């Protein structure tokens, strides 16, 4: 579930569609930004290794970026699922 909704989970609270669309747009921007960060981190690792420098810390940063990206994608998917649900009447 999108992190912002967690405090309200199971409490019968409904978020309006406009707010969900805003959160989904923010999640998409986060995913796109993280994609770029991951790409840059790969380039940093390549450059370090080309120079014979230890890339252990850079690889740890990459692992954290990838884990965060996975969380972003899960949140985005959850928002899309929520948006796809029929509106209660």
Assess contact for 28 and 76: CB atoms under 8 A. Answer: yes
Q: What is the dihedral of CA 26, 31, 37, 42, to 10 degrees?
A: 180
Distance separating alpha carbons of residues 43 and 66, to the nearest angstrom:
15
What is the Cα 11 distance to its own chain's centre?
A: 25
Report which secondary-structure segment, H or E, holds 1: none
- Residue range 2-56, pLDDT digits in tens: 455 544 555 444 567 788 888 888 888 888 999 999 999 999 999 999 999 999 9
Residue ranges of the alpha helices (H) in the chain? Answer: 17-50, 56-84
Range with the lowest mean pLDDT among 39-43, 64-68, 70-74, 75-79? Answer: 75-79
């Amino acid at each position: 579930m999108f992190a912002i909704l967690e405090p309200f989970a199971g409490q019968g609270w409904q978020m309006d569609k406009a707010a969900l669309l805003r959160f989904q747009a923010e999640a998409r921007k986060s995913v796109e930004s993280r994609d770029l960060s991951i790409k840059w981190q790969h380039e940093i690792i390549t450059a370090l290794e080309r120079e014979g420098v230890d890339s252990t810390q850079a690889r740890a940063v990459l692992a954290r970026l990838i884990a965060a990206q996975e969380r972003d994608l899960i949140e985005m998917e959850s928002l899309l699922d929520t948006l796809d649900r029929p509106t209660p009447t």
